[in-house]
């Protein structure tokens, strides 16, 4: 029999022990301050113009001014004078035609002896007698806008790092055994 060469090998085994690296990053918020000053508002308005005319109300209760009373008397006198001229002319025409018959003198006496007048109690309603007018003035408005005041202070991030570690160890050594077997 021929002897045989017998070779037996054992591989090497390496063990790794790993501690992982640790990293933490914290970013705090930035410090920020915002202020908004109020806008400056200015409104200017001159007073409006109010006109109250109560002349008609005074006239309604017969408290007229001297000028108004004089004007009314002149108007009434002119009216009476014109009516008187008209009446005298008409009566004169009737007397000129006395030959046509009738009794114009007696008819004239009867007409002229009567007195007629018109009484109007009260007057105009009081709410219509006062004239009120209002003329507003325009307002001047000016606005000055103020920009916001923004202050920001950045805060740097907080970074911590712990490096990892790898440890090598031999768990099994390599081995080669050679043997002859018959």
Instruction: Give me the percent of the chain exceeding a pLDDT of 90.
Output: 48
| pLDDT for position 120 | 64
Reported as a single tens digit per residue, the pLDDT across 76-104 is: 999 989 998 998 898 888 888 888 878 88
* pLDDT, tens only, 128-166: 778 899 999 999 999 999 999 999 999 999 999 999 999
In this model, does residue 42 exceed pLDDT 90? yes
Torsion angle of alpha carbons 98, 113, 77, 87, nearest 10°?
-10
Separation CA 76–CA 80 (nearest Å): 6
The model's confidence at residue 109, banded by pLDDT at 50, 70 and 90, is confident
> According to the model, what pLDDT value does residue 160 have?
94
Q: How confident is the model at residue 122 (pLDDT cuts 50, 70, 90)?
A: low
Helix (H, G, I), strand (E, B) or coil at 45: strand
Phi, psi (degrees; rounded to nearest 5) at 28: -65, 155
Q: What are phi and psi of 32, to 5 degrees?
A: -135, 140
Whole-number pLDDT of residue 119 = 63
55 in Cβ contact with 148 (< 8 Å): no
Asked if the model's pLDDT at residue 111 lies above 70, the reply is: yes
All residues at 6 or more sequence positions from 166 whose CB lies less than 8 Å from its CB, including other chains: 16, 17, 18, 19
Whole-prediction pTM: 0.35
Q: Kindly state the average pLDDT of the residues 56-74.
A: 82
What is the per-residue pLDDT for 27?
93
Structure tokens at 98: 């006395």
**Distance (Å) of CA 101 to CA 21, 95, 104:** 152, 10, 8
């Amino acid at each position: 029999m021929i002897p045989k060469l017998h070779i037996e090998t054992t591989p090497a085994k390496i063990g790794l022990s790993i501690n992982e690296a640790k990293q933490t990053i914290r970013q705090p918020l930035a410090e920020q301050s915002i202020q908004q000053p109020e806008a400056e508002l200015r409104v200017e308005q001159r007073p409006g113009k109010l006109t109250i005319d109560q002349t008609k109300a005074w006239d309604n209760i017969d408290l007229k001014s001297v000028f108004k009373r004089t004007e009314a008397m002149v108007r009434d006198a002119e009216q009476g004078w014109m009516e008187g001229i008209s009446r005298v002319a008409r009566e004169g025409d009737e007397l000129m035609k006395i030959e046509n018959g009738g009794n114009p003198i007696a008819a004239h006496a009867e007409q002229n002896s009567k007195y007629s007048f018109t009484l109007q109690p009260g007057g105009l309603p009081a709410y219509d007698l006062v004239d009120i007018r209002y003329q507003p003035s325009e307002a001047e408005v000016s606005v000055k806008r103020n920009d916001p005041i923004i202050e920001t202070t950045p805060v740097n991030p907080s970074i911590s790092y712990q490096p990892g570690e790898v440890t090598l160890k031999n768990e099994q050594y390599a081995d080669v055994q050679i043997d002859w077997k018959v």
